[in-house]
Amino acid sequence: MTSIAARVADFTGGLCTFEVDARTVRSLLRELEARFPGLGEHVEQEMSLAIDGEIFQDALGAEIGAESEIVLIPKIAGG
């Protein structure tokens, strides 16, 4: 897992890339919250995920493969 959002580093103590064992976005958030308190909630509220290159927003049920690459990105809105 990689983050391109600077705010995530505030939760992880500067760590930007790390391994997470999760099969869905829901379990991923749970794992993030356990490892870096506050990060799971922050990601759920304010961020999107690119899972193997496809962007997901607010999709807790989206599946994650064993070798999936996940990028945490700021939630994309628009005008």
Residue ranges binding other proteins (CB under 8 A): 2, 4-7, 9-10, 13-14, 45-46, 50, 52-59, 62, 69, 71, 73-79
Whole-angstrom Cα Rg for the chain: 11
> Tell me, what DSSP letter sits at residue 22?
-
Beta strands in the chain (DSSP E): 2-3, 47-51, 54-56, 70-74
- Taking the complex as a whole, the smallest distance from the CB of residue 76 to other proteins amounts, in Å, to 5
Smaller CB separation from other proteins, 66 or 79: 79
- Taking the complex as a whole, the smallest distance from the CB of residue 45 to other proteins amounts, in Å, to 6
